[in-house]
Chains A and B, each alone.
Chain A
Amino acid sequence: MTVTAGLDLGSLTTKAVVIRDGVIAGSVVMKSGVQSEDIAWRALKAALDQAGIGEEQVDGIVATGYGRVRVPFAHHKVTEITCHARGIYHLWPEVATVIDIGGQDSKVILLDRGGKVRDFVMNEKCAAGTGRFLEVMARSLEVNVEEMGELSLAAPRGASISSMCTVFAESEVVSLVAEGRPVAEIIRGLHEAVAQRVAAMASRVGWEEPVAMTGGVAKNRGVVKSLEDNLGTAIRVPPDPQIIGALGAALLAADSKK
């Protein structure tokens, strides 16, 4: 029996996945904080408890995400680009493009037939097109970020959001609210703006079908739908897209044991 763990320390959430012989045995998602090492350890413990596995049974740990460098008990540190690619390859080996929209950044990753990263592109040093962008807008609109997807799907049309700068877009949203535009239409407009930006990144790197989406924002059906409309293709979303980076990390830890 091989037990490995993957830890994905993102800007908003920390994810832990424990796998036993290639199958997910436990997974958790926690809020990230400033004490990365502490959060990582607590997430790992929670995932192990869920799996009913003792920490002494873990054969390898890989840390990923922007906080990966602050996990001293990890055996290896691998970037989230490689981890998301590995996670999706495990689920759907035929996928050629992975779109990952996380809290702090968004990326488009091209895979070769063996699941190896062939090329990738990330957003610039800016919150536009990320989970943080949607979180700030949700706060301005006084809705829960989790509700945004369903609300936007109910809107007949999207309000036009011309600015993708988080600061300017927030002002624009406030103006639209003041004009009396329905909240659902504003949210749909925001999703379309995010989708257009990510689709432009995907075009820049030369995306190919089939496409899968990972990261917390993939749980937002409104963004997924807008992206599908922009790219003109169906997008596969795993049951829990937020843990795919951590899953990939756990799989890479298992790969290193072979």
Chain B
Amino acid sequence: MGALIGWFCHYTPVEIITALGFIPYRLLGREGNTPRADTYLVGNLCPYVKSCLETAIRQELPPLAGTVIARSCNAMIHLASTWPRYGGQGATLVLDVPRRLDEEAVLYYSQNLRRLAGELAWLGERQLEDSLLWQAIDAWEEQRSYWRGLLAARARGEICLSGSDVMAWLDGWQTCATAAGRDKGQAGSAAIEQQSRPDFRGRPRLMLAGSILPAELPALIEEWGGWSVFEDACNGRRFLLAEVARETGDPYLHLARLYLGGPPCPRMVADQTRRQQYWAGVVDDYQIDGVIYHVMKFCDAAIYDFRAMKDFCDRRGLPLLRLDGDYTGGARGQWQTRVEAFLEMF
């Protein structure tokens, strides 16, 4: 069994980690307050980032050989400064991610990926051949394409998947810590197909959006009478990226295109047009009746993204609900009235 490498942001190319024999392990934080992380990070910082640091300080993480921190937003930059001292385990490797998609950005990002691969190779005391990286790229793409197919079948109404099922399995897939981890996604999605599921047809079909979604949110929305049919979050559909033409030659260029060209995150401020096109496609393909946007407290990217979503929903005549959250699991009562009132509008 390979050693674990922790990662946070979905712009982290897990292919490089697996190609070197490591197992990628996504850090998703913990439920509850973050008193220990608050000692080292300011109060008005992303609660997800603080939650992840809290798990490390409390030694609740499995042993990590290293951690890749994509410096993709302000909070992640702070985390990258704090983690080596207080995060505890293994090496800290940083990765800078551009905020736009064009050829310059792709080239810059590919160079950063190559540097990251070199640092991980040094950590693993092995060389990373391009052929090995291509194999990992193909293996991950196979799994992602399986998931994408499953969710497309869900959009067409061929299978009735709840958002809570999908999010739970995606979370499990991203945090898999076993030798068979790479196959867990496949196994998980197969299990989804087989298990008996509640029939949510007839309920309002909702798109959930935000930066990272609290794990309990889709389940709560479904408990209160909605149906989450699309989760636009970095721990949801965005993590599955989008199919791109298979290149030959430089695998790092391919990875840069794959990740920067995937569904854009709120942080891609220079890529807002593509984000709105992405939403429009989702609304049409998934027959969305309304949108619930989760604004993570102090996440500037999500706050600005919400404004863009509001304009989009106004143009499309779609009901939109904003929920504020602090990733502690303590907002249930506050959300319930808002979500139920929103659902009563349909």
Task: Write the residues of chain A forming the contact surface with B, with a CB cutoff of 8 angstroms.
Answer: 66, 69, 78-82, 105, 116-122, 124-125
Contact = CB atoms under 8 A, between A and B. Distances in A.
Given A66-B333, A81-B337, A124 B324 contact: yes
A117 B341 contact: yes
Interface of B: 319, 322, 324, 331, 333-334, 336-338, 340-341, 344-345
A80 B345 CA distance: 13
Given A66-B333, A125-B334, A81 B341 contact: yes
B341 A66 contact: no
B340 A79 contact: yes
B64 to A, nearest CB: 34
A83 to B, nearest CB: 10
Contact of B338 (A78, A82, A119, A122): A122
Given A79-B344, A118-B345, A121-B322, 20 more contacts: A66-B333, A79-B337, A79-B340, A79-B341, A80-B341, A81-B337, A81-B341, A81-B344, A82-B341, A82-B344, A116-B345, A117-B341, A117-B345, A119-B319, A119-B345, A122-B337, A122-B338, A125-B324, A125-B331, A125-B334
Contact of A78 (B319, B324, B344, B345): B344
A256 to B, nearest CB: 13
For chain A, what secondary structure do more than half of its interface residues adopt (helix, strand, loop), or is it mixed? mixed
A124 B326 CA distance: 12
16 contacts: A66-B333, A66-B337, A79-B340, A79-B344, A80-B341, A81-B337, A81-B344, A116-B345, A117-B341, A117-B344, A117-B345, A118-B345, A119-B319, A119-B345, A122-B338, A125-B334
A224 B319 CA distance: 29
B186 to A, nearest CB: 40
Q: Which 5 A-B pairs have the closest CB atoms?
A: A81-B341, A79-B341, A82-B344, A79-B340, A117-B345
Contacts of A119: 319, 345
Contacts of B337: 66, 79-81, 105, 122
B104 to A, nearest CB: 38
Nearest to A64: B337
Contacts of A116: 345
A120 B341 contact: yes
A107 to B, nearest CB: 9
A79 B345 CA distance: 11
Contacts of B340: 79
A147 to B, nearest CB: 31
B45 to A, nearest CB: 18
A167 to B, nearest CB: 14
Contacts of B336: 69
